[in-house]
């Protein structure tokens, strides 16, 4: 039996919607899962906050923990002024978290394992940072690229390096989430494939198959951790970048 | 029970309590040392769960740093290539911007590892637990 670990990332067209230039825009499984993610997240959070009790129930506790967690992250890395971006960061965090966790369910599709999705999110953050930075600070935002106390002679090179470093942010921001999810899911699939291959190799293979099976169980736990951690990392990096827009050169 | 016996018990109890608290303190110090060592070595050795978590966060850290470096280089190369195409100064754009990209990547890595502060950041925020 042949196991194809890449097959799970295949985009399937469900029905075509319209044409954009020469590209056909279709409703895909990726789009379907994004709707599921948004729907589930909205359902959970709206459901959790309809009955606002002083003593929170289970659902309300989850919502409150989420709020506290993201609010603390925003306050600690972007300051109290960063709280005006709280809805933005919270939305990103919840979207990525739900995408990662729903992707862990067998036979489901992981939206965040598609580079285009993570790049879109990272570019959104990047343009929000640039736009807000220029809107709030004007040209003083460019001070971000001019470190203090650098000799005039090497300043052009330093500024060029700083600009490149700034431009490389969306790349590392998006690639990190994408690659973590992709690598994790491929690893899971490969080990799961070992179970099938060994299991079909007779009685001795069945005993051998327990080893990759244990591995898959452990990897699933690890992936759950990674799913949460990467959502958190995405949120905290967003906060750090927003902090640059809020207070450049301080 | 006789008074003498009770007194003796109480005395023993007191000494044993003192001994116990002394032992607890010693244990605490020992634990603290072990924890410090583990933290310095980067992998706590006390339980397999903690070890696994540390391995996972080490993996995450390695991933983070390598992606920072690669991002810098890729962006530098991309910009160099575009400049070559648009201005027709091939191969100088690629050469210069690839080198600058390497420098930016190293800067990213050092910033991400918390070795130097960012341009607009104090040390505390950059060293946030973004592993």
What are A120-156's pLDDT values in tens digits? 999 999 999 999 999 988 888 888 888 878 888 888 8
Q: Is residue A70 situated within a structural domain?
A: yes
Please give the pLDDT value at position B117.
Answer: 67
Domain shared by B27 and B70, yes or no: no
Domain shared by B67 and B7, yes or no: no
> What is the spatial distance between Cα A180 and Cα A113, in angstroms, rounded to a whole number?
8
Domain shared by B31 and B89, yes or no: no
Q: Is residue B129 situated within a structural domain?
A: yes
> What is the spatial distance between Cα A93 and Cα A213, in angstroms, rounded to a whole number?
31
The answer to whether A172 contacts B56, with C-beta atoms less than 8 Å apart, is no
If one counts the domains in chain B, the total is 2
Query: Which DSSP helix (H) or strand (E) runs through A19?
Result: strand A13-20
Long-range CB contact pairs, A159-162, < 8 A, 24+: A160/B100, A161/B100, A161/B103, A161/B104, A161/B107, A162/B104, A162/B107, A162/B119
Q: Is residue A54 situated within a structural domain?
A: yes
Question: What are the average pLDDT values for consecutive 10-residue runs of chain A, which has 250 residues?
Answer: 74 81 84 93 89 81 91 89 91 94 90 92 94 88 83 88 91 90 90 87 84 92 91 91 80
Q: Which residue of A has its CA nearest to B100?
A: A161
Please give the pLDDT value at position B29.
Answer: 84
Please give the pLDDT value at position B1.
Answer: 47
Please give the pLDDT value at position A118.
Answer: 94
Q: Is residue B69 situated within a structural domain?
A: yes
What percentage of chain A's residues is helix, strand, coil (to nearest 5)?
A: 80, 5, 15
Q: Is residue B75 situated within a structural domain?
A: yes
pTM, whole model, 2 decimals?
0.76
Please give the pLDDT value at position B11.
Answer: 56
> What is the spatial distance between Cα A131 and Cα A82, in angstroms, rounded to a whole number?
15
Domain shared by B25 and B74, yes or no: no
Domain that holds residue B5: 1-41
Q: pLDDT truncated to tens, each residue of chain B (131 aa)?
A: 445 555 555 555 667 778 888 888 888 888 888 777 766 654 444 455 555 556 667 777 888 888 889 999 999 999 999 999 999 887 888 999 999 999 999 998 998 887 776 654 443 344 444 43
Please give the pLDDT value at position B19.
Answer: 83
Domain shared by B73 and B114, yes or no: yes
Assess A190–B contact: CB distance below 8 Å, yes or no. Answer: no
Domain shared by B123 and B88, yes or no: yes
- Beta strands A13-20 and A23-28: pairing type? antiparallel
What ipTM does the predicted assembly reach? 0.74
Domain shared by B63 and B32, yes or no: no
Please give the pLDDT value at position B12.
Answer: 59
Q: Is residue A28 situated within a structural domain?
A: yes
The shortest C-alpha distance from A143 to chain B (Å) reads 9
Please give the pLDDT value at position B91.
Answer: 85
> What is the spatial distance between Cα A177 and Cα A227, in angstroms, rounded to a whole number?
9
- Crossing angle, helix B48-87 and helix A169-199, to 10 degrees? 130
Name the residue among B71, B100, B107 with its Cβ closest to that of A171. B71
The shortest C-alpha distance from B48 to chain A (Å) reads 12
Closest CA to B80 of B67, B99, B107, B108: B99
Domain shared by B24 and B70, yes or no: no
Q: What residues contact B65, with CB distance under 8 A and at least 6 apart?
A: B109, B112, B113
> What is the spatial distance between Cα A243 and Cα B96, in angstroms, rounded to a whole number?
30
Assess A25–B contact: CB distance below 8 Å, yes or no. Answer: no
If one counts the domains in chain A, the total is 1
Q: Is residue A199 situated within a structural domain?
A: yes
The shortest C-alpha distance from A214 to chain B (Å) reads 15
Q: Is residue B31 situated within a structural domain?
A: yes
Give chain B positions within 8 Å (CB) of A180: 60, 63
Domain shared by B25 and B81, yes or no: no
Please give the pLDDT value at position B116.
Answer: 73
Domain shared by B33 and B3, yes or no: yes
Residue A26 in 3-state DSSP?
A: strand
Q: Is residue A1 situated within a structural domain?
A: no
Most B CBs within 10 Å, among A69, A165, A249, to test the B interface:
A165
The answer to whether B63 contacts A157, with C-beta atoms less than 8 Å apart, is no
Domain shared by B6 and B64, yes or no: no
Assess A72–B contact: CB distance below 8 Å, yes or no. Answer: no
Q: Which residue of B has its CA nearest to A234?
A: B130
Assess B118–A contact: CB distance below 8 Å, yes or no. Answer: yes
Domain that holds residue A34: 7-246
Most B CBs within 10 Å, among A126, A140, A149, A164, to test the B interface:
A164
The shortest C-alpha distance from B2 to chain A (Å) reads 56
Q: Is residue A67 situated within a structural domain?
A: yes
Domain shared by B71 and B116, yes or no: yes
Closest CA to A86 of A229, A235, A233: A235
């Amino acid at each position: 039996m042949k196991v194809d670990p890449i097959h799970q990332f295949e985009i399937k067209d469900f029905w075509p919607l319209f044409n954009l230039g020469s590209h056909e825009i279709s409703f895909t499984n990726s789009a379907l899962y994004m709707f599921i993610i948004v729907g589930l997240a909205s359902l959970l959070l709206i459901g959790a906050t309809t009955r606002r009790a002083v003593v929170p129930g289970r659902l309300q506790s989850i919502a409150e923990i989420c709020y506290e967690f993201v609010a603390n992250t925003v306050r600690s890395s972007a300051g109290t002024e960063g709280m005006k971006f709280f809805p933005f960061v919270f939305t990103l965090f919840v979207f990525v978290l739900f995408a990662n966790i729903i992707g862990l369910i067998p036979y489901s599709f992981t939206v965040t394992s598609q580079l285009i999705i993570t790049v879109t999110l990272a570019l959104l953050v990047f343009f929000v940072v640039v736009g807000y930075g220029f809107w709030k600070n004007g040209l003083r935002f460019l001070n971000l690229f001019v470190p203090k106390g650098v000799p005039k002679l090497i300043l052009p090179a330093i500024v060029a390096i700083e600009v490149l470093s700034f431009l490389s942010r969306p790349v590392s921001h998006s690639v990190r989430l994408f690659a973590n999810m992709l690598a994790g899911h491929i690893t899971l699939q490969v080990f799961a494939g070992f179970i099938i291959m060994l299991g079909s190799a007779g009685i001795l293979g069945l005993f051998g198959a327990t080893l990759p099976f244990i591995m898959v169980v452990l990897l699933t736990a690890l992936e759950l951790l990674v799913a949460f951690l990467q959502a958190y990392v995405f949120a905290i990096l967003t906060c750090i970048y927003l902090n640059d827009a809020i207070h450049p050169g301080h | 029970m006789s008074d003498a016996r009770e007194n003796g018990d109480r005395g023993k109890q007191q000494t044993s309590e003192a001994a116990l608290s002394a032992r607890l303190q010693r244990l605490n110090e020992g634990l603290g040392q072990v924890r410090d060592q583990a933290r310095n070595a980067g992998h706590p050795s006390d339980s397999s769960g903690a070890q696994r978590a540390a391995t996972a966060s080490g993996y995450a850290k390695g991933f983070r740093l390598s992606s920072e470096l690669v991002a810098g280089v890729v962006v530098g190369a991309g910009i160099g290539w575009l400049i070559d195409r648009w201005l027709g100064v091939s191969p100088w754009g690629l050469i210069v911007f690839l080198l600058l990209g390497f420098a930016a990547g190293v800067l990213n890595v050092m910033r991400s590892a918390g070795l130097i502060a960012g341009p607009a950041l104090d040390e505390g925020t950059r060293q946030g637990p973004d592993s």
